[in-house]
Structure 1
Amino acid sequence: MLVLSYLAFGYFGGVNQVGQRSIQVEHNRLLNVLGVIRSQWQIQGKPERLQLDWRSDLTDSAETISYVSMATGGWPIPDETSVAGCRELIGELLGLSYAKQVVTKFNSNTGACRYIGEEGGSISYQTSSGRVIFLTGLGK
């Protein structure tokens, strides 16, 4: 019993760490996507709305083309300042499947979209500055 308890504790502790790594991977992916978007925004003359084209050799579908509103500083902003706007924005940036995996919140006082993973870790995206903050779920 003692050995099984030890193994179970180790397994479930590892599952928690995998969940944290998953949202940390998405945090890094978001940072990369935002860098690409800002570069495209500058190349295209700093438009108010930027066309995002996520097509690859494997997918040549019009469904991979979308538009996102841009702040004057060059970061994407939600079309509406609400939970729905934040959910739509993360869906455009990281894909609809990711938007369905997280709990989305919007803080109207700070203008921040917060995306909370299953294990409590979260990504905060400040729409007023484009700043991205990764918070772990440890100590929840």
Structure 2
Amino acid sequence: MLNQQKADAELISVYGKIIALIILLIVLFYLAFSYFGSIKQLSQPSMQAEHTRLLNVLGVARSQWLMRSKPEILILDWYSDNPEHASSTGQVRMAAGGWPVPDETSVAGCRQLLVELLGAGYAQQIETRFNPRTDVCRYIGESGESISYQTTSGRVIFLTQGD
């Protein structure tokens, strides 16, 4: 009888260790998926940061437009501390009010405008849409957030997923 009790105790001990191991693995899987999920979010471009960057770029473009006596086509001069990109230029068509407008009223025109303003690398990572009724270019990130640019007024609106 003593041997039976000893075997039962060992069996209960093994079951306890297996259950503890399963609980530990579940917790580790949860933490791992949470961690890797946050890494994926960090690797995606933040539309909110790009919204701020676009507002700054539009302000600089308007300043250059005013300094150059309000030309219809503005040659943008971007200077960088990086020696490889010491000077980068692009050109955009400007509205009478002083905001950049696409060369053509289409998705391609909206995408080209974004390339000139924010750079080609960023424009490839987002979806571009154009609404011909309202003349709005909409740039949608992978997270569902978007930036709307009204080509008739130069207004920029940041929209979250719920908007």
**Deviation at 1:4?**
3.2
Q: C-alpha distance in 2, partners of 1:129/1:15?
A: 37
Alignment of 1:43-82 (within 5 A): 43-57=67-81, 58=83, 59-60=85-86, 64-82=88-106
Provide the residue aligned with 2:6 in structure 1: none
**Whose relative contact order is higher, 1 or 2, with alpha carbons under 8 Å and at least 6 apart?**
1
Q: Name the TM-score, length of structure 2 as normaliser.
A: 0.74
Counterpart amino acid of residue 22 in structure 1? S
Q: Name the TM-score, length of structure 1 as normaliser.
A: 0.86
Q: Decide whether the 8 Å contact of 1:33 with 1:93 is kept in 2.
A: yes
Counterpart amino acid of residue 94 in structure 2? M
Q: Decide whether the 8 Å contact of 1:23 with 1:122 is kept in 2.
A: yes
Give 5+ residue unaligned stretches, structure 2: 1-24
Give 5+ residue unaligned stretches, structure 1: none
Q: Does 1:35 align with 2:80?
A: no
User: Once the two structures are aligned, what percentage of the paired residues are identical?
Assistant: 64
Aligned-CA RMSD value: 2.2
Provide the residue aligned with 1:117 in structure 2: 141
Task: Point out the more displaced range, 101-110 or 18-27.
Answer: 18-27
Q: C-alpha distance in 2, partners of 1:130/1:27?
A: 13
Q: Write 1 or 2 for the structure with the bigger share of helix.
A: 2
Counterpart amino acid of residue 117 in structure 2? L
Counterpart amino acid of residue 121 in structure 1? E
Aligned residues between the structures? 137
1:133–1:19 distance in 2 versus 1, CA, 3 Å: farther
1:95–1:45 distance in 2 versus 1, CA, 3 Å: same
Counterpart amino acid of residue 115 in structure 2? G
Q: Secondary structure at the match of 1:101?
A: coil
**Deviation at 1:55?**
3.7
Counterpart amino acid of residue 67 in structure 1? Q
Q: Decide whether the 8 Å contact of 1:19 with 1:119 is kept in 2.
A: no
Larger radius of gyration: 2
